[in-house]
Amino acid sequence: MSLTVGFLGYRFMGKAHANALARLPMFFPDAPAVERDVLVGRDEEALADAVDRLGFDRYVTDWRDAVDDVDVFYNLGPNSLHPEPSIAALEAGAHAFCEKPLAHDLEAAERMADAARESDAVTATAFNYRFIPAIQYARDLVESGAIGEVRHVRARYLQDWLVDPQAPWSWRNSAEVAGSGALGDLGAHSIDLAQFLLGSRIDRVSGHLRTFVDERPVPGGGDGDALSASGSDSRETRAVTVDDAYTAQAAFADGTMGLFEASRFATGHKNGNTIELNGSEGSIRFDLERLNELEVLRGDGRGFETIHVTDESDPYGDRWWPAGHNVGWEHALVHENYEFLSAVANGGSYEPDFETGLAVQEVLDAIERSDERGEWVDVRT
């Protein structure tokens, strides 16, 4: 029996998850069968094209016409559109998968987590980096005590797609829609990875946020070469109401010290997601731009060993290619969908779920409160 699936959203993440579903029968034959039923969006012309490209049967322009008809609802829309459709899907008896961060603010995330607790459905928050083989390997090392007691964690996520002040405004620049900027867009991943690898939650934070460009041109807002009589640019602009970068110190419940940083203004960095754990008996380093590798220092070693995490015995290694034949970013989403849909089909549990998403949202909210107050704050007040 196939699981019927509906997607809200068909651009970047819609394509990524549709690709993942298409790969499952080939490489994960034990995965449940999936029928890509309905695609949800607002632009009918673009939807008609996307339905064919992404392998869906039909489309609708209102999510309310989809949530009652599918077994699994994927919410891949902007952050402010996460709460209502996801809650409605759960109330309709559908399982719910939601992009990160869970919502645009803490109150909405709490409502989503409450709906999940009241439902028998399986939920998922899309922290796909958990499913990179090297990250799974790192988690196994930490849990086995291979690096001893973890004392420090350092995580940074650097991109440069907003360095140009003329880069166009998008919903990711709006507090009303996105909630936050680099903090929620990138920092959410770092915070989840740290809590996942340590098996411990963040208790207190001290945060700092900064916006470097206060307004940006609106796409299609006029002639790009048009200048006013005074020589200034006359294109329509819109205010940027989120952070472009953030830093945070963190205190974990188990005593670990944490440092976090993210920026969309880090010139030269395309997708630099790194995390390092320093323990009493060793250290671990991971870099998304070299995602098949994990750097490990054990015992009294004087240098890091680079482990190529592609052997058949490594996490998911038996599903793909011979050792040394790399997997990429997209494969993490295949693993993520395999685990989630298997839990749905088998009545099992899944993490990261909406509760996990709420735990990250609490940290995001605390970092913003800390920045506003200029002091350390407790994550859960």
Task: Report the alpha-carbon distance of residue 154 to residue 198 in Å, rounded.
Answer: 12
Write the CB contacts of 120 (distance below 8 Å, at least 6 apart in sequence).
Answer: none
Q: By three-state DSSP, how is residue 246 classified?
A: strand
Are 3-128 and 129-327+351-378 in the same CATH fold? no
Distance in angstroms between the alpha carbons of the first and the last residue of the chain: 46
* Residues forming a β-bridge with 286: 275
Of the CA atoms within 13 Å of residue 355, those in its CB half-sphere come to: 10
Count of C-beta atoms within a 10 Å radius of residue 381: 8
Burial class from Cβ neighbours inside 10 Å (0-12, 13-18, 19+) for residue 359 reads buried
DSSP 23-48: HHHHH-TTSPPEEEEEEE-S-HHHHH
Secondary structure of 79-148 as H, E, C letters: HHHCHHHHHHHHHCCCEEEECCCCCCCHHHHHHHHHHHHCCCCCEEECCHHHHCHHHHHHHHHHHHCCCC
Task: Report the alpha-carbon distance of residue 97 to residue 264 in Å, rounded.
Answer: 26
Burial class from Cβ neighbours inside 10 Å (0-12, 13-18, 19+) for residue 326 reads middle
Structure confidence by residue, pLDDT tens digits, 86-117: 999 999 999 999 999 999 999 999 999 999 99
Task: Report the alpha-carbon distance of residue 32 to residue 24 in Å, rounded.
Answer: 9
Q: Give residue 233's pLDDT.
A: 52
Question: Quick one: 129-327+351-378 is in which CATH superfamily?
Answer: Dihydrodipicolinate Reductase; domain 2 (3.30.360.10)
Q: By three-state DSSP, how is residue 211 classified?
A: coil
Write the CB contacts of 220 (distance below 8 Å, at least 6 apart in sequence).
Answer: none
pLDDT < 50 positions in the chain: 222-232
Q: Which pair of tokens denotes residue 320?
A: 């793909």
Task: Report the alpha-carbon distance of residue 134 to residue 287 in Å, rounded.
Answer: 10
Structure confidence by residue, pLDDT tens digits, 252-306: 999 999 999 999 999 999 999 999 999 999 999 999 999 999 999 998 778 999 9
Measured in degrees and rounded to the nearest 5, phi and psi for residue 43 equal: -95, 105
Q: Give residue 224's pLDDT.
A: 38
Torsion-angle region of residue 55: left (phi > 0), alpha (psi -120 to 50) or beta?
left
Q: Give residue 302's pLDDT.
A: 81
Sign of CA dihedral 194, 7, 123, 114: positive
Domain edges within the chain:
3-128, 129-327+351-378
| 3-128 CATH fold | Rossmann fold (3.40.50)
Tell me what the pLDDT averaged over the chain comes to.
Answer: 95
Q: Give residue 221's pLDDT.
A: 59
